[in-house]
């Protein structure tokens, strides 16, 4: 179990959190300039979850993501230029400009895709786990989704099916307290979303999703649990959406005082304190990482801006796969 | 040659598929022990085991979603929806997920998923278990919709659909399950192309699924009255092969479309529109549609009989067109 962390590993995770934050801040700038065209849902304040979880995943482990999916993508190893290009609707984007911010998939890194439908990816993550189980592959599937998605039917059906078949899947509920404007107090009548695990006979737990080390250590245990055939897990991450639902949200549904309170629990600031105070990392070293990542993000954004738009002639492509699988049909004689 | 019912033919295709590729598996409500509401998956559990033949809870969203997820990572799932009417329960997974994934992700994923289901009225199943909803699916780019009209085609089209690297909704009409046709024992495939079932020079009758048989019965009777109808089975709603239809209309100058789904916004409208768009100069009369009326499927025997188009409706439309 990967619970012992080297300094290098911790700094690498710090770097990915910084990268996500820098990416999102640049995405906001692009949205302000109307270069991204449509809504950009940023992951600010939730970085520790994607980073702490994906640090345990290989390219053969699958994730499904959400409309707020840039962080998952980056944590799974996506290329930022291709991500920016997709946000800008460029030919070089992950989806050749046909998807946009809410629809980035990257099968090479095991990312089965972000999803514009709340709860839409949860059954598919369960299905990927079924596919792994049937092929006897010792990997797992992880579904990221929000508190709002836990009120969708897809969530309940997927957890139940995963449970009865003991599928290697972890359901990660990023409870950031709001579905657009509607708070969890208004949208559900339970203390913790992880309580819903009981209804399906699976393990459920809630942890501090803004504490990178807690996320990292807990997920190591959860992964071991799932891969040892003990069944799926519902892991609720207590976190907060530091930004609005998307850039331009007037946020009339919440108190600034609450937002400020949560900003003190910013997962990046907290991890910086841990690194400097408990592990003796120099503040300059962290500043250097931040500078490097900011530079890389801006370079990726600039490159993407120079990239061409998709050709109109290619608009009709990619709807269907023109191929048929080569299968030699073998007649089956019933005994 | 031996004859098989469509149910036996589908069962044989499933056995062939399971015997040929270990990536193929099936999940659905009551399919394993019980053999499915469609009664086509019998014996599969005995021969291929509980890992690849799984009963599910009554959870259509999870059934279709599981198929999509497994397909994305390289398996070849066949998922079963007990009735086509149940697409209403899981439509997001079909409409916004399975159909959109490939295009939305820039052609970088494939979804080799078959959704088998049964459609159709005539057996007294009432308004929520008798519909033909192919046009709801055909309106969504990205999903194939295949509807065999007989046992031979069912076996060949199903094997074709299983090799397809796209999501395919495979719709079996429940009134056809017991109908027997000649079916070879060896595996074979049937393509998605339209097929001319009988030739005629006077009028083109375009149909699919169970209504092909009604159209053929009508053509036989019309023959006795000296009217030669050319019947075309399109077999596949998406992709739609219009070539034999246009070629036929150029010859006959008259066409009607026959389907069991309701008329308004039905697939007959699409075919009629394409005929006038691409063969207007050949048309001597408007293209009529013979369909169910625009109401839910009624239950009472006499009402249901009146609801489903029959031979006489087809003959009446043919004569109206030719006179």
pLDDT above 50 (res B11): yes
pLDDT over 90 (residue A243): no
Mean pLDDT in residue range A210-225: 98
Does the CB of B105 have a partner CB in chain A at under 8 Å?
yes
Q: Which helix (H) or strand (E) holds B195?
A: strand B195-198
State the ipTM, two decimals: 0.96
> Quick one: pLDDT at residue A34?
93
Is the pLDDT at A3 greater than 70? The verdict is no
Residue A1: pLDDT band with limits 50, 70, 90: very low
pLDDT tens-digit series, residues B59-99: 999 999 999 999 999 999 999 999 999 999 999 999 999 99
- Cite the active site residues of B: 60, 129
Q: Taking the alpha carbons of A331, A332, A335, B6 in that order, is the dihedral positive or negative?
A: negative
Q: Where are the alpha helices (DSSP H) in chain B?
A: 6-20, 44-48, 60-72, 91-92, 101-104, 134-138, 151-163, 211-224, 243-252, 267-279, 301-307, 311-322
* pTM of the full structure: 0.97
pLDDT at A2 over 70: no
With b meaning 16 or more CB within 10 Å and e meaning fewer, what string describes A65-99? Answer: bbbbbbbbbbbbbbbbbbbbbbbbbbebbbbbbbb
Architecture of domain B3-182: 3-Layer(aba) Sandwich (3.40)
Sort out which chain A residues have CB atoms less than 8 A from B114's CB and list them. none
Task: Give the chain A residue nearest B104 (alpha carbons).
Answer: A99
According to DSSP, the β-strands at B24-28 and B76-81 are parallel
Sequence spans of domains, chain A:
7-314
Q: Which of A95, A122, A327 sits opposite B163 (nearest CB)?
A: A327
Over range A259-286, report the average pLDDT.
Answer: 96
Output the pLDDT for position A85. Answer: 97
CA distance B11 to A134: 22
For chain B, the domains span 3-182, 195-322
CATH entry, B195-322, from 3.40.50.920, 3.40.50.1220, 3.60.10.10, 3.90.226.10: 3.40.50.920
Radius of gyration in angstroms for the set of CA atoms belonging to chain B, rounded to a whole number: 19
pLDDT in tens, B225-249: 999 999 999 999 999 999 999 999 9
- Angle at the Cα of A118 (from A20 to B23), degrees rounded to 5? 90
Q: What is the SS3 assignment for A101-164?
A: CCCCCEHHHCECCCCCCCCCCHHHHHHHHHHHHHCCCCCCEEEEEECHHHHCHHHHHHHHHHHH
B108 touches chain A (CB under 8 A): yes
* φ and ψ of A313, to 5 deg: -60, -25
Please list every residue in chain B whose beta carbon sits closer than 8 Å to the beta carbon of residue A79.
none
CB-nearest partner of A126 from B69, B74, B106: B69
| B3-182 and B195-322, same CATH topology | yes
B35-68 pLDDT, tens digit each: 999 999 999 999 999 999 999 999 999 999 999 9
Is A123's CB within 8 Å of B73's CB?
Answer: no
Strand-by-strand arrangement of the B255-262 sheet? B195-198, B229-233, B203-207, B255-262, B288-292
pLDDT at B101 over 60: yes
What chain A residue is nearest to B97 in terms of C-alpha separation? Answer: A120
Interface check B247 vs A, CB under 8 A: no
Q: What is the CATH number of domain A7-314?
A: 3.40.50.970
| CB-CB under 8 Å, A126 with B73 | no
Contacts of A153 (CB under 8 A, 6+ apart): A119, B61
Task: Say yes or no for a CB contact (<8 Å) between A113 and B65.
Answer: no
Q: For the residues A110-125, what does the mean pLDDT come to?
A: 97
Beta-carbon contacts of B40 under 8 Å, excluding residues fewer than 6 positions away, are: B7, B10, B11, B14, B116, B172, B177
């Amino acid at each position: 179990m990967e619970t012992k962390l080297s300094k290098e590993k911790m700094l690498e995770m710090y770097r990915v959190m910084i990268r996500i934050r820098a990416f999102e801040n640049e995405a906001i700038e692009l949205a302000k300039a109307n270069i991204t065209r449509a809504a950009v849902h940023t992951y600010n304040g939730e970085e520790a979850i994607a980073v702490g979880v994906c640090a345990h995943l290989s390219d053969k482990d699958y994730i499904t993501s959400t409309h707020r999916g840039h962080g998952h993508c980056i944590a799974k190893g996506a290329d930022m230029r291709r991500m920016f290009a997709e946000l800008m609707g460029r030919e070089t984007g992950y989806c050749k400009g046909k998807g946009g911010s809410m629809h980035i998939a990257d099968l090479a890194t095991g990312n089965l895709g972000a999803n514009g439908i709340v709860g839409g990816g949860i059954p598919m993550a369960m299905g990927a786990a079924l596919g792994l189980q049937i092929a006897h592959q010792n990997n797992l599937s992880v579904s990221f989704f929000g508190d709002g998605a836990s009120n969708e039917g897809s969530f309940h059906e997927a957890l139940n099916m995963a449970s009865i078949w003991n599928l290697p899947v972890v359901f990660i509920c990023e409870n950031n307290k709001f579905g657009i404007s509607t708070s969890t107090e208004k949208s559900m009548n339970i203390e913790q979303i992880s309580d819903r695990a009981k209804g399906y006979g699976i393990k459920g737990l809630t942890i501090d999703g803004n504490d990178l080390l807690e996320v990292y250590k807990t997920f190591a245990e959860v992964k071991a649990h799932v891969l040892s055939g003990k069944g799926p897990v519902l892991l609720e991450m207590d976190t907060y959406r530091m930004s609005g639902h998307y850039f331009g949200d007037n946020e009339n549904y919440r108190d600034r005082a609450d937002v400020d309170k949560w900003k003190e629990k910013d997962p990046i600031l907290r991890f910086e304190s841990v690194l400097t105070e408990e592990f003796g990392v120099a503040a300059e070293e962290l500043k250097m990482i931040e500078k490097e990542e900011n530079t890389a993000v801006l370079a990726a954004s600039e490159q993407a801006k120079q990239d061409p738009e998709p050709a109109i002639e290619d608009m009709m492509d990619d709807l269907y796969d023109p191929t048929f699988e080569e299968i030699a049909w073998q007649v089956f004689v019933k005994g | 040659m031996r004859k098989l019912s469509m149910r036996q033919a589908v069962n044989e295709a499933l056995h062939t598929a399971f015997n040929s590729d270990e990536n193929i598996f099936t999940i659905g409500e009551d399919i394993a022990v019980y053999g499915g509401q469609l009664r086509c998956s019998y014996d599969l559990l005995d021969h291929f085991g509980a890992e690849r033949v799984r009963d599910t809870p009554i959870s259509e969203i999870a059934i279709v979603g599981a198929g999509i997820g497994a397909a994305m990572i390289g398996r070849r799932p066949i998922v079963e929806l007990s009735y086509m009417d149940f697409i209403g329960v899981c439509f997001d997974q079909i409409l916004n997920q399975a159909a959109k994934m490939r295009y939305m992700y820039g052609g970088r994923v494939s979804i080799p998923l078959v959704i088998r289901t049964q459609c159709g009225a005539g057996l007294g199943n009432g308004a929520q278990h008798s519909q033909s909803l192919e046009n709801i699916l055909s309106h969504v780019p990205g999903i194939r919709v295949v509807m065999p009209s007989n046992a031979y085609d069912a076996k060949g089209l199903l094997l074709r659909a299983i090799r397809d690297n796209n999501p395919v909704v495979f719709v079996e009409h429940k009134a056809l399950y017991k109908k027997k046709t000649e079916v070879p024992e060896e595996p074979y495939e049937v393509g998605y192309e339209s097929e001319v079932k009988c030739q005629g020079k006077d009028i083109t009758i375009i149909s699919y699924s169970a209504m092909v048989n009604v159209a053929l019965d009508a053509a036989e009777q019309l023959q006795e009255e000296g009217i030669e109808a050319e019947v075309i089975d399109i077999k596949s709603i998406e992709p739609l092969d219009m070539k034999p239809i246009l070629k036929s209309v150029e010859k006959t100058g008259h066409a009607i479309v026959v389907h069991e789904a309701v008329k308004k916004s039905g697939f007959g409208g699409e075919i009629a529109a394409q005929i006038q768009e691409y063969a207007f100069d050949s048309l001597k009369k408007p293209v009529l549609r013979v369909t169910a009326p625009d109401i839910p499927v009624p239950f009472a025997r006499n009402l249901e009989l009146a609801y489903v188009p029959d031979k006489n409706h087809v003959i009446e439309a043919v004569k109206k067109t030719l006179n």
